[in-house]
Copies of this chain bind each other. A is one copy, B any other.
Amino acid sequence: MKLIEAKEQFTQLWGALGSSWGINRTMAQVHALLLISSEPLSTEDVMEKLSVSRGNANMNLRDLMNWNLIYKEHKAGDRKEYFKAEKDIWEVAKRIAKERKRREIQPLIASLNSLVLIEESKKDPEAHDFLMMVESIQNVVTKMDAAVDTLIKAEESKFFGAIVKLLK
């Protein structure tokens, strides 16, 4: 395979991957493009390489900035904005984890907390079963939230090291 095909395939792969994890396909493709580009790219570059409209390119670049995965960069003597990606993959993983935690895990914990405030007594067997289920979800989700915090703070080697130990 030629490098140019491999890059194309990589972009497709990253896009499909994003799709199946609830991330907009084009956003993931733009990310892929910047990950494997040596030079920062402008909005026009992205439009051209992915054959997408200006609006679409702009919106996905903005979203990627909100996810903290890419940065604006200015070239001397050029008014255009260029974008470059964070290239340390462990750092990328941590930032995605951090963002999903903030957007999804934390609201989930809040919603679960409100569900245990039902009026019925624990003595009502139906209420009891429901509370047990919600509480056990709270328990696992809270632990996962803490696990993500650890991941966000840990060094790559420490994090995977601790997990590898469990295999022994």
Q: Identify the A interface with B (CB < 8 A).
A: 1-3, 6-7, 9-10, 13, 17, 19-22, 35-36, 38, 87-90, 93, 104, 108, 111-112, 114-115, 117-120, 124-127, 129-130, 133-134, 136-137, 139-140, 143-144, 146-147, 149-150, 153-154, 156, 158-160, 162-167
Q: A143-B160, A146-B164 are in contact. Are A1 and B126 (CB under 8 A)?
A: no
Query: A36 to B130, alpha carbons, bound, how many Å?
Result: 6
Query: A147 to B21, alpha carbons, bound, how many Å?
Result: 18
Give every chain B residue within 8 A of A13 (Cβ-Cβ): 108, 111-112, 115
From B3, B115, B143, B162, give the contact of A120 (CB < 8 A): B3
